[in-house]
Amino acid sequence: MNQYPGAVFFVDMLGVGALTQNQIPLCDIDFEAWNLKDHPARSANLLCGRLLTEFRACLAGVKRSHKSVKVAQLSDCAYIWSSDPAAVFNAARDFMWSSVEAGILSRGGISYGEIVEPGKINRSIGHFILGEAVTRAVGLEKLGKGCRVFVDNAFLKKSPRDSVFSHDMFKVLKSPLDGTIVNEFCWYGTGRSASRWADAPHAAAIDVIGILTRLQYSPRFRWNDSNRHGRIHIACSIDSVSSLTPCFIGNGNYLFSDDNYVRHLVRPAERSECNCQKFLSERLADIERFFLKGKLKDPLQRWLDRN
């Protein structure tokens, strides 16, 4: 066995249990959004299989791009780990960006500590790890709602300090119930691992508005939105991502509270690719008014090209 200190990112796809237990009312839109419209035997498990395939594709993309991390998928959750905390940090934010853009809600936890893994791997049945970092990462994932990532103090001490964004990448959240402190890694305020937003606020605004609009209007999130628990996850995701928008767009038009969303802001019936593109186009045009220099001829097409 190998034993060493390192960082672990545990990530879980939200809503799978409710979906496979037929607790979510599905409709044609849900299958059409995931290219399953013409399948002869549509079911919750069929949709879940499509979601898990996309989840796996996001993990495979991280594995290809980040050679120094190891990846293991266990159904609707996964571990990404390395002895290098910076590598896990970069892999985690890449995964979160790609999964939300693909139409998947995932939530994660990152911890630093002891990792134990086998010296030899039977690749036919996959990798496994254990240790204090693994246990804490799993516990951290459960500390909040929405597509967010929570980290422990041990990881914060080891995380890279060369910010890719002019604002802090970590946010301290305090529970009003018991005063518990939770550290959130604001992946949506960092760009991908190759991005440096400090020198590119225009590109940052385009990316943030892109995922915010997808969370609000993409039909791929309709099944999440059609039950109370999933709607809370969507609402908290929108709340956290929209809180970043004043950093780029000073009119406050894109601040959406989770309470307003849960009550009445957007209903599942409003989710369509047409509405998503419509609102995205309007918002990107609004962004251009804040960035007069280097104005784009077609901001919507630029965003589509990037994604």
pTM over 0.95: no
Contact 254, 163 (CB under 8 A): no
The number of beta carbons lying within 10 Å of the beta carbon of residue 227 is 17
What superfamily in CATH does domain 2-189 come from?
Nucleotide cyclase, GGDEF domain (3.30.70.1230)
Domain boundaries, the chain: 2-189, 200-306
Measured between alpha carbons, how far is 93 from 170 in angstroms, rounded to an integer?
A: 12
Contact 203, 248 (CB under 8 A): no
Q: Which residue has the tokens 């994660």?
A: 108
The one-character DSSP state at 228 is H
Measured between alpha carbons, how far is 50 from 223 in angstroms, rounded to an integer?
A: 13
Tens place of pLDDT for every residue, the chain, 307 residues?
788 899 999 999 999 999 999 999 999 999 999 999 888 888 999 999 999 999 999 999 999 999 999 999 998 999 999 999 989 999 999 999 999 999 999 999 999 999 998 766 655 556 778 889 999 999 999 998 999 999 999 998 876 655 444 445 788 887 766 778 889 998 988 777 666 666 677 778 888 899 999 999 999 999 998 888 898 999 999 999 988 888 777 667 788 876 666 555 556 668 899 999 999 999 988 888 777 655 444 444 555 555 5
